[in-house]
Amino acid sequence: MEAKKIEILTEQDIIAARSAGRDMARDLGFGSADQTRLATAISELTRNIIQYAGKGTCTLSDISNERVITILVVAENSGPGIEDIEQAMEFGFSTSKGLGAGLPGTKRLVSKFKIGSEPGHTMVTIELTKRKFI
């Protein structure tokens, strides 16, 4: 399955990225709960792109192998960056008067979570994985 890159510029792009993730998860055999978890994580990451950077990209890839089925999602932007990643990962911390559940909540939804940020480039990488039963 070829990687799918979605430009994130508007609310409609959030919906497109969320739907693409759900569809990829379904097509690869993930159950409805996992499809919803992935869609929710993508929604959060892409909403952050618009809110904090104005624009960016979300790329979805099937990186499965002979033992596991894995979807890789890379959300990137060229915004101002996250000043304190450790603080941003604390449940309840928000710079936008929100609930502060976004990044830590996203991390709980997926199998792997990695974030890197500096002024001009932020990249969040998530993976959702399930074992193949042969």
pLDDT band at 95 (very low <50, low <70, confident <90, very high): low
CA nearest to 59, candidates 128, 125, 129: 125
pLDDT in tens, 23-71: 999 999 999 999 999 999 999 999 999 999 999 999 999 999 999 999 9
What mean pLDDT value characterizes the chain?
91
**Is the overall model pTM greater than 0.85, yes or no?**
yes
- Residue carrying structure tokens 């998860």: 25
What the block records as the tokens of 30 is 């993930």
Q: Please tell me the distance from the alpha carbon of residue 17 to that of residue 114, in angstroms, as a whole number.
A: 19
Tokens of 78: 């060229």
Domains of the chain: 4-131 (3.30.565.10)
For residue range 60-74, list pLDDT tens digits in order: 999 999 999 999 999
Beta 4-8 vs 112-118: how paired, if at all? unpaired
**Nearest partner of 85 among 114, 111, 51, 52, judged by Cα:** 114
